[in-house]
Structure 1
Amino acid sequence: MAEHPLSMPPAERGNGWQQLMTFQPGAPTPPNATRRPLIRRILLWSLVVVGFGLAALVMGLLVTESLGLVTAGLAIATAAIALGIVVPTFLWVDRLEAEPARLLWFAFLWGALISTLGALVLNELGLAFFGGLHADPMVVGAVVVAPVAEELAKGLGVLLIFLMARREFNGITDGIVYAGLVAAGFAFTENILYLGAAYTEVGTPGLVGLFVLRCLVSPFAHPMFTVCTGLALGWAAHRRRASSAGVVLLGYLGAVSLHALWNYSAVAAAESFLLVFAVVQLPLFVAFLLMLRWATRRESRLLRDLLTGYGLNGWFTPAEVAMLADPGERRRARAWARTAGGRRAERAMEAFQDESGELAMVRKHINSQGTDAHWAAREQALLDTITAHRRVFVPGL
């Protein structure tokens, strides 16, 4: 059995480099001994596609029936503007160790389709449950029913990713990204319904006014709530202990509480919106931005610490470790590669950076769970491709 890369004694470290120098990127991958994993993946993703397709059909029928085709198209185009603000923000948070595109799409579509349908059903059931009470249905619906139902529907999507793709759910930053994209999808569909209704009832002034409030003033409202659940699941992924289940419940309750506070401030004090926005909603938003900043800095430190071990064993230079842990330096490195070797070198540098981030997460798993065949093979494969991509933008290495 080959020795683990970080356990190689210094005298043998050169042999590892010589083996990598003979690595052939175009060499065929050995076939899988069994096709069962492939069949399972095909069946699983087929179910996902069918489920999302049916949900999209139902949601499309609901939207066009309630708004009409022309109004629905106008609302979709208007609501999409907020996506141009929210989605790039979470991709920016995810830039050091990018998550697989299929899971990011799953998160967004879960929020846009499954969560919205589930929340519609749960909201109706909740309002029916409280219907016999002598309470304002608008306040009960906005402050009690909606936060509980919507955060449950959104949080289930993040939980599914946590359970079904544990190898891609590596900690707090991942929880923030997945939760943020689920919430972005949910807010997108909800905005379509609200904007379309405003245009139907009031016309263009109603559409523009609600667009400013929901898409420009508070586009991060739903992500801000659901990120509490994502943070808790990220903490559970980091700790890898059964006792973390209580933290997940606290995260969900935090999401519900923030959602309820936000809705209450909007419903109970609608006549003094600017004051409530300045006192309640703006501080919450600032705290949310500070949390995103903290998460990115934390991941940068984690990346640097984990890759330093590989650097000490000869896999990275100190300059490479410093570059990989700094987003600004990563951008400058890609620009340098493009200048030095064209688009091919820039793509190789981008792959080098992405694979190094993935390597750090693999090392994190190995440190916390011990080495097994899967993680050892994944680590070696990443080291091979990292070295091969380095030769593209540093010829002759």
Structure 2
Amino acid sequence: MLPPPHQPPTGAPHPPSTGPSAGTSGGSWQGVLAFQPDAPVPPNATHRPRLRGFVVTGVVVTLFGLAALVMGLIVYDVIGLAAAGLAMLTASIAIGIVVPTFLWIDRLEAEPARLLWFAFLWGALISTLGAIVLNQLGVDFVAGLDQDPMVVGAVVLAPLTEEFAKGLGVLLIFWRARREFNGVTDGIVYAGLVAAGFAFVENILYLGQAYVEMGTAGLVGLFVMRCLVSPFAHPMFTVCFGLALGLITHRRRWSAAWIPLLGFVSAVFLHGLWNYSAVVAADAYLLIFAVVQVPLFIAFLFLLRWARRRESVILRDTLTGYGINGWFTPAEVAMLASPGERRRARRWARSVGGRRAAAAMTSFQDESGELAMVRKHLNAEAGHPDPEWLGREQRLLQTIVAHRRVFVAGA
């Protein structure tokens, strides 16, 4: 539970000088020139953390490399090299629409680049390969029953296997990078990038097949439907699961497991509904698209806007508590909670102190957003704070003060 704006966050440290320094104004970005807090616990002095990191990185790179090799062979076998190159170039246009949208949502408290790349590559390589294997096994099983394997595969099997393969990547980030999975917005971003990677490779296969079978006309027609009309289809499905995980970020208990399960079921249902309109009810596709899919897409856009505004409110309320304790001025809090004011602050810093001051302002903004998420975790663990979160808070406060001094000195 976040404290209301007029209360400081529980346990938030006070700087030794509890108010703005002499000569600073509460209405400027120059802010509070506070002293550094006590130093955090020193890090592990052995080489083991580095060795563990090397091993984990090696495993991940090997896994992705093998998956890329297998997927490359599959694409080459299905559509050939020339069609694959043309399809990849065409499918990249959808990536240019989808990925920047999710990065835009994540601007106030950006996620580490390594996790964003992991999410995208998991979707593009692991999820696609896993879905191909599971789909084929499912179709072979259904073929022995009195059912149309193509219809069952598209409406039942594909939604189940694909959302499972994509959702597993989001779940891995939720489990292993819990200090970077801080809420609803993070869940939406990670899920969206996993789905974007999956859709990218799937589009290469589908567009390439259309080109091989129907030539340029088939490629252009499918490109319009998949990459221009519905580029957010896969992200729209998987975001249901990411959103659900974001809702339980601060209460990771088995009693809350029904929330991610409901998110997964919702993702599978929306995916199945989408495939149904394209496969089973092809003659009524435009009607179903207008009545069902368009409202869903509009709701999805409202969800993205809501998530972005929610993060802004969390940032403002939490940093207001730090401001009461003397770490930020009211003008700084207002600037940090507004993307537009952030841009104006960076331009101001560059105008008064050049690139060095602009870089310091950017770091000040990034670290302040991270600080708000750290405090949110600490408030959720009231009474039993994690020493790692406390140490992270102290380090962020130190660097925030240091970067403020840089752009203040240039003013």
TM-score by length of 2: 0.90
Q: 1:209 to 1:14 in 2, by over 3 A?
A: closer
Aligned to 2:3: none
1:189-227 residue CA offsets vs partner (Å, 9 max, x unmatched): 000000000000000000000000000000000000000
**What pairs up with 1:228-243 in 2 under 5 angstroms?**
228-243=240-255
Is 1:359 aligned to residue 371 of structure 2?
Answer: yes
Tell me which protein shows more helix as a share of its residues.
1
For residues 152 and 22 of structure 1, the distance between their equivalents in structure 2, rounded to whole angstroms, comes to 46
Is 1:375 aligned to residue 389 of structure 2?
Answer: yes
What is the Cα deviation at residue 243 of structure 1? Answer: 1.3
Q: 1:84 to 1:12 in 2, by over 3 A?
A: closer
Aligned to 2:196: 184
The one-letter code matched in structure 1 to 2:12 is L
User: Greater shift after overlay, 380-389 or 5-14?
Assistant: 5-14
Aligned to 1:26: none
**What pairs up with 1:100-179 in 2 under 5 angstroms?**
100-179=112-191
What is the Cα deviation at residue 119 of structure 1? Answer: 0.1
Is 1:52 aligned to residue 61 of structure 2?
Answer: no
Tell me the SS of whatever aligns to 1:249: helix
The one-letter code matched in structure 1 to 2:36 is L
For residues 38 and 248 of structure 1, the distance between their equivalents in structure 2, rounded to whole angstroms, comes to 33
1:227-275 residue CA offsets vs partner (Å, 9 max, x unmatched): 0110111112133333111111111111000100111111122223322
Percent identity over paired residues: 71
For residues 290 and 46 of structure 1, the distance between their equivalents in structure 2, rounded to whole angstroms, comes to 40
Q: Is the 8 A contact 2:188 2:242 kept in 1?
A: yes
Counterpart pick for 1:95 among 79, 103, 107? 107
What is the Cα deviation at residue 5 of structure 1? Answer: 7.5
**What pairs up with 1:1-397 in 2 under 5 angstroms?**
6-8=12-14, 19-20=35-36, 32-369=44-381, 370-395=384-409
1:151-196 residue CA offsets vs partner (Å, 9 max, x unmatched): 0000000000011111101111110000000000000000000000
Q: Which runs of 5+ in 1 are unaligned?
A: 24-28
Q: 1:31 to 1:135 in 2, by over 3 A?
A: closer
Q: Is the 8 A contact 1:108 1:182 kept in 2?
A: yes
Q: 1:234 to 1:192 in 2, by over 3 A?
A: same
What is the Cα deviation at residue 30 of structure 1? Answer: 6.2
Q: Is the 8 A contact 1:195 1:210 kept in 2?
A: yes
TM-score by length of 1: 0.93
Larger RCO: Structure 1 or Structure 2 (Cα < 8 Å, ≥ 6 residues apart)?
2
For residues 12 and 305 of structure 1, the distance between their equivalents in structure 2, rounded to whole angstroms, comes to 19
Q: 1:13 to 1:374 in 2, by over 3 A?
A: farther
Q: Is the 8 A contact 2:18 2:325 kept in 1?
A: no
What is the Cα deviation at residue 132 of structure 1? Answer: 2.1
Q: Which runs of 5+ in 2 are unaligned?
A: 1-9, 22-31
User: Greater shift after overlay, 332-341 or 360-369?
Assistant: 332-341
Q: Is the 8 A contact 1:172 1:238 kept in 2?
A: no
Aligned to 2:6: none
1:326-385 residue CA offsets vs partner (Å, 9 max, x unmatched): 111112212222222222222211111111010001101111114332112111111111
For residues 264 and 193 of structure 1, the distance between their equivalents in structure 2, rounded to whole angstroms, comes to 20
